[in-house]
Amino acid sequence: MSAEYTEDNIRTLDWQEHIRMRPGMYIGKLGDGNAADDGIYILIKEVIDNSIDEFVMGNGRNIDLSIRGNEVKVRDYGRGIPLGKVVDAVSKMNTGGKYDSKAFKKSVGLNGVGTKAVNALSSYFKVDSVRDEKIKSAEFSRGNLTEEHKEESTTTRKGTRVTFIPDEEIFKNYKFKFEFVDKMLWNYAYLNRGLVINFNGERYQSENGLKDLLERNIDETPLYPVIHLEGEDIEVAITHTHSYGEDYYSFVNGQYTPQGGTHQAAFRETIVKVIRDHYGKTFDAQDVRTSITAAISVKVMEPVFESQTKTKLGSQDVGPEGPSMRSFVNDFMSRSLDNYLHKNPEVADKLLKKIQQSERERKEMAGVKKLAKDRAKKANLHNKKLRDCRVHLGDKNDRHLETSIFICEGDSASGSITKIRDVNTQAVFSLKGKPLNTFGLTKKVVYENEEFNLLQAALNIEEGIENLRYNKVVIATDADVDGMHIRLLLMTFFLQFFPEIVKQGHLFVLQTPLFRVRNKKETIYCYSEEERQAAVAKLGKANEITRFKGLGEISPEEFKNFVGEDIRLDPVLIGKEAVVKDLLSFYMGKNTPDRQEFIIDNLKVEKDVVEDEPAEKVA
């Protein structure tokens, strides 16, 4: 019997109710702070974007950001929100200065939603606006106005301050990782020369824009000095390194677009055309772009993004009456890059030699790649190493934000995860034994290795990570010496041949509980010795403690929580001062005693449970 459909079924939601009910429409995914694109960082970005727009318009060159615990404060020294509109600006949809195209012609955000989303998704939100020697403040909770303060006289500098605490009802067990905030702020600095950002005592400022970005992010000596080109509404920086693959940083109106879009596609297409024309040779596109590291920033009128979080540009044109994105980038590159290469013959010679080297390597690899692809096809038919997710059925290779792949050791662990995963978005890849140590090896050797060959095919990264099929690549190994070693071997593979997977925040390690502490009323899963002790103290002596030694020992019903809502993922991060080749040399080189000591010191496996707790059961 079908349910009745009457007037009672029709609801009109308040603006804050709608944002809280459908937060993904406004900030993408939620997360807990362990990924750079998790919601709590989008909230910070939405507030800072408004301050950046003020700077771009010539109002205020300093932004102060502080994060203390879960409280975030952003202070700019722009014009300040008009005092009579302070409440409306942060709590009424479709309200904002960015609808006035004269005031914000090339703004980061155009829809007047950003701060409203922050307001609705915060348990506490306060806005202070100072202008004309007066201050106006308003406080909110989950989008609802709790107190509106009267205007008062002040000697404080003009500008806007927003204070907020992300709501734990929405963002479960979240914690800010300053590494992600650091990268966000540096991107703002690179794209806004003259801007000074102060964050918890650290100063962010760039004098050379995208040139500084590449030099800061490249952890090895480039093959030639960074080529830095600037034009009206476009800036480009280019070099090649010894690494494999392609590495891009793309931006629109000061907005980082990690998934690229039309501007990045135009750049990749154009650089091949310009270099072919300059040298008068029909180079293969792959040979031109292999090992490239580049950044492109464009400014666009009324940009169209593929989602509210603006991670991928969809605009085909640079403005309502402007040229196409392709011709805009092509015209600039054809003129500027060609001129640069003519004026810098030493750079042009090094670039040519790099392309010729890539051509030789590609031809040497042709037979190996064909063998690898044939092997992968055969494995897909006869060997169920990959249990894919439904998002990719029908040969869809789109990297959906919610997709993950778990790389497991052995059939037992992969079987457990396969039984209880979310089949729509979570895939599982099963390793057979310990992977090859790829440190110091060539890509040819790795292609000849069956395990890594099949893993590359599963991830769809044989030609680089632009077609990476999963947003999160999760290493799921046991918390013992063998598991730790396998984890390091996999990290070595990615850092050696696909470092951008790590740099762009796609690689994670799955945390699984080491202990289960329970009595007749309650069960607590513990991920460390400290958590175990706290659970014992809470439940008292009359409890049972089980220590899990491997993923395969955890029943599917129990495992469901650990890859579902309560999943704990540790992002694999490279520190800003780290050099990849030095990291690989330490962890996977010939210094075996050092590596063994590191593995043992970093294991989460604890010593045997102490003997003065007789009610415990250790399995």
Domain boundaries, the chain: 16-204, 210-361, 383-512+550-602, 515-547
* Residue 321 or residue 210, greater confidence: 210
Extended beta strands in 346-425, E state: 386-387, 404-409
- Which ranges of 148-249 would DSSP assign to H, the alpha helix? 178-191, 210-217
Other beta carbons less than 10 A from residue 343's beta carbon: 9
> Are the C-beta atoms of 587 and 488 separated by less than 8 Å?
yes
With residue 239 as reference, give the H or E element that holds it: strand 234-240
Model confidence at 618, in pLDDT bands (50, 70, 90)?
A: very low
Which range of 11-20, 44-53, 410-419 scores highest in mean pLDDT? It is 44-53
* pLDDT attached to residue 75: 96
pLDDT digits (tens, 9 = 90+) for 56-110: 888 989 999 999 999 999 999 999 999 988 898 888 775 555 544 444 555 555 4
Tens digits of residue pLDDT in 41-65 = 999 999 998 898 889 888 989 999 9
Domain 16-204's class?
A: alpha beta
CATH 3.90.870.10 fits 383-512+550-602, yes or no: no
pLDDT score for 570 = 86
Residue 176's pLDDT band, with cuts at 50, 70 and 90, is very high
**CA nearest neighbour of 184 among 260, 256, 108, 107:** 256
pLDDT band at 376 (very low <50, low <70, confident <90, very high): low
DSSP track, 262-328: HHHHHHHHHHHHHHHHHHT----HHHHHTTEEEEEEE--SS--BSSTT--SB--SBSSTTS-BHHHH
H or E element, residue 580: helix 580-588
pTM passes above 0.85: no
DSSP annotation of 2: P
In 372-521, beta strands by DSSP E? 386-387, 404-409, 426-431, 472-476, 507-511, 515-518
210-361: same fold as 16-204? no
Q: What is the pLDDT of residues 437-491, one digit of tens each?
A: 888 888 777 778 888 888 988 898 877 777 888 989 999 988 777 888 888 889 8
Q: In what order do the strands lie in the sheet with 523-526?
A: 523-526, 515-518, 544-547
For residue 553, pLDDT beyond 80: no
Q: Is 210-361 in CATH node 3.30.230.10?
A: yes
Tokens representing 473 are 């690549």
Cβ partners under 8 Å of residue 177, min gap 6: 33, 34, 571, 573
